[in-house]
Amino acid sequence: MCHQEEHGYSCSDYLRQYNHVAPGPKKKIAVDGEVRAKLVEWCYSIVDFCKFNRETVAISISYLDRFLLSELGLVTLQEPTIYQLAAMTSLYTAIKIHEPEAMDPELVSNLSHGAYTIEQVEAMEYAILQAIDWRVNTPTALAFVRHFLDLLPNKVLDKATKAAAYDLAINQTEVAVREYKFVTVNASAVAYVSLMNSLESLCIDSKTYDYVCRVLSKVSNIDPGAKNVLEMHKYLYPHVSDHHHLSIEEMQRRAANHRAAKAEAAVAGMKSPKTQTAVAAAPKKALEQHRAAFFGLSPCSTFDSFPSRS
């Protein structure tokens, strides 16, 4: 997984690079970290509404961030409407690939009040996939957290502690997805910091903590004393989660329920081909709320600058 993230899934600071690499006359950039953060929140609201896995948002944002490094991505940074289309399409694609149910491109068009046609959604999907070289199996921070916990023997961390640590790491990894400052940080580093913060909050003994630190820093090639790692610890620790008041047994129960729900969804996906019913029967009022939230992501509320269907 570490090799995978280093070769094909890494991302650079495209907002900072924009002024250096954008060809020709430059327009004012229309996207910033705040717009991106609101977009991530909107994506989480959609997957929650559809009862999808929130980890799918991390995958979709990886698609979007890497796409924005491409030549078309530079144009996208200049146009809020195209950026919104790319964001919606990235989520649509991630859901189609990683969830048991798929979203119909018509739904994406409907969520935009028809601002984007089905053809535009499908064209953008193809453009994104080409730009990211069809690398769609993003190794997420939560995937690394699961991998790290599997590496640790149960005699070092029992199942209840592992479940609690995982539950406490979730919110930290989602903060890292939301915050643009983490766009250049490897998912394995976010996972390492999140997991160590979780174990610290659980007050495990220092001997066990030091052992885990040595093992995980070695397998992830991370220097625990590096300035950037210490800064990540400090930034993410307040976000350990609002579950810190729960007992380990309660967090274990929640984690077990979460795993059971994922397993049930996976079985359902294997029994039948992917359907496109995720939000087909959603109440109209609820869909209107998501549309309104989406169009509030930027000052631009009109879509005249995006080419219409010919």
Last residue of a domain, one of 209, 225, 245: 245
CB atoms within 10 A of CB 36: 22
Could you report the per-residue pLDDT of 277-291, keeping only the tens digit for each? 444 444 445 445 554
- Secondary structure of residue 124 in the 3-state scheme: helix
Boundary residue ending a domain (228, 245, 262): 245
Q: Please give the DSSP secondary-structure letter assigned to residue 207.
A: H
> 308 in a domain, yes or no?
no
CB atoms within 10 A of CB 110: 15
Return the pLDDT at 310.
34
- Report the mean per-residue pLDDT for the chain: 81
**Phi, psi of 76, rounded to the nearest 5 degrees:** -60, -35
Burial class of 48 by CB neighbour count within 10 A (0 to 12, 13 to 18, 19+): exposed
Dist. CA 220–CA 151, nearest whole Å: 12
Q: What is the mean pLDDT of residues 121-146?
A: 95
Q: Report if residue 260 sits inside a domain.
A: no
301 domain residue, yes or no:
no
For residues 156 and 230, membership in a common domain is answered with yes
**Domain range for 166:** 141-245
* Contact present, 180 and 120 (Cβ < 8 Å): no
pTM of the prediction?
0.78
User: In the predicted model, what is the mean pLDDT of residues 93-122?
Assistant: 86
Write out pLDDT tens, residues 65-88: 999 998 888 889 888 889 999 999
Distance CA 233, CA 207 (A): 19
**Is 58 in the same domain as 127?**
yes
Q: Is 180 contained in some domain? A: yes
Which one-letter amino acid corresponds to residue 5? Answer: E
Q: Please indicate, yes or no, whether residues 76 and 163 belong to a single structural domain of this protein.
A: no
**Number of folded domains that form the chain:** 2
Could you read off the pLDDT of 245-257 as tens digits, one per residue? 455 555 555 555 5
Residue 129: what residue type?
Answer: L
Same domain for 33 and 46?
Answer: yes
CATH of the domain at 41: 1.10.472.10
- Alpha helix (H) residue ranges in 203-283: 206-219, 227-236, 248-271
Instruction: Say if residue 159 is in the same domain as residue 123.
Output: no
Angle at alpha carbon of residue 304, lines to 301 and 309, rounded to 5°: 125
Residue 25 belongs to some domain of the structure: yes
Same domain, 24 and 125: yes
Whether residue 259 is contained in a domain is answered as no
Q: What is the pLDDT of residues 215-272, one digit of tens each?
A: 999 999 999 999 999 999 999 999 996 554 455 555 555 555 555 555 555 555 544 4
